[in-house]
């Protein structure tokens, strides 16, 4: 497995790898000065995730170079395909696990993990050199959470299965859940962030807020 360097910011890098039969995207943020790391969605394939962490460690500068220090695993939601390697990676690295409050029980029930951090939206989470804001996006699951960078433009949005190129996440024909998700995505992402904000979803290619903005009325009309 080879990771892709998708962002090289002044203080950190972002790498992406795809794992599993579901083509899950896993993102790793590495602070270039401290070497500390955040991984978003430990979806599957522990060996591949070890390689991703090692690739990120090589992005760190100075005395920290090559020293992988994964500190935090952020889980966008508790669905099975996003959490299969979470317990093993957390146990191996000692990283804390964070998840939306309303998905925490599912993570415990299905994976035996008690999250060290539960999120309601608005919290700042991070490590030495990288900070992200948690944004609750209810609908795909009750506790789905996106994470936004705070270091300036363009903002990077890690949206899990709540926002993709071409639409919001699956709500399985439930009109109330779709309305909730579209409302949260509209108000908490599109109304807040500029067109240059980059969207990194839980599967597939990236997009931008500007690319998707004009389609919001169509999504609302079609109901998915």
Going residue by residue through the chain, which has 224 residues, state the pLDDT in tens, using 9 for 90 and above. Answer: 689 999 999 999 999 999 999 999 999 999 999 999 999 999 999 999 999 999 999 999 754 555 669 999 999 999 999 999 999 999 999 999 999 999 999 999 999 999 999 999 999 999 998 999 999 999 999 999 999 999 999 999 999 999 999 999 999 999 999 999 999 999 999 999 999 999 999 999 999 999 999 999 999 999 99
Distances (CA, A) of 116 to 61, 97, 111, 220: 29, 5, 14, 36
Sheet order of strands, 4-8 included = 4-8, 12-19, 24-31, 36-40, 69-75, 96-100, 117-119
> Could you tell me the CATH number of the domain that includes residue 185?
3.60.15.10
Contact 110, 80 (CB under 8 A): yes
Q: What is the pLDDT of residue 65?
A: 53
The number of domains in the chain is: 1
Q: Residue 61's pLDDT is what?
A: 77
Q: Please name every residue paired with 149 in a beta bridge, in sequence order, or none if there are none.
A: 132
The pTM of the full predicted model, rounded to 2 decimals, is 0.96
Record the tokens describing residue 76, joined without a space: 């966008």
Please tell me the distance from the alpha carbon of residue 61 to that of residue 129, in angstroms, as a whole number: 12
Q: Are residues 199 and 207 in contact, defined by beta-carbon separation less than 8 angstroms?
A: yes
Which residues span the domain enclosing 58?
4-222
Q: Please list, in sequence order, all residues whose beta carbon lies within 8 angstroms of the beta carbon of residue 191, skipping any fewer than 6 positions away.
A: none
Helix, strand, coil shares of the chain as percentages rounded to 5? 30, 35, 40
Q: Give the span between the Cα atoms of 73 and 158, in whole angstroms.
A: 13
Question: Residue 27's closest CA among 208, 191, 149?
Answer: 149
How much is the pLDDT for 2? 82
What pLDDT is stored for residue 160 in this prediction? 98
Q: Which pLDDT belongs to residue 139?
A: 98
């Amino acid at each position: 497995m080879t990771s892709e360097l998708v962002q090289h910011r002044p203080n950190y890098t972002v790498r992406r790898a795809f794992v599993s039969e579901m083509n899950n995207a896993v993102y790793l943020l590495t602070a270039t000065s401290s070497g500390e790391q955040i991984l978003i969605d430990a979806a599957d394939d522990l060996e591949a995730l070890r390689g991703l962490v090692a690739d990120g460690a090589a992005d760190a500068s100075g005395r920290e170079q090559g020293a992988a220090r994964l500190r935090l695993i952020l889980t966008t939601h508790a669905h099975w395909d996003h959490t299969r390697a979470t317990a093993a990676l957390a146990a191996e690295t000692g990283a804390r696990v964070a998840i939306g409050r309303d998905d925490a029980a599912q993570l415990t029930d299905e994976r035996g993990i008690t999250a060290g951090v539960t999120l309601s939206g608005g919290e700042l989470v991070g490590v030495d050199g990288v900070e992200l804001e948690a944004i609750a996006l209810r609908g795909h699951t009750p506790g789905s959470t996106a994470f936004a960078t705070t270091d300036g433009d363009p903002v990077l949005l890690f949206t899990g299965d709540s926002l993709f190129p071409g639409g919001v996440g699956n709500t399985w024909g439930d009109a109330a859940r779709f309305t909730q998700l579209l409302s949260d995505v509209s108000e908490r992402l599109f109304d807040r962030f500029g067109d240059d904000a980059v969207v990194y979803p839980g599967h597939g290619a990236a997009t931008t807020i500007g690319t998707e903005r004009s389609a919001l009325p169509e999504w609302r009309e079609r109901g998915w």
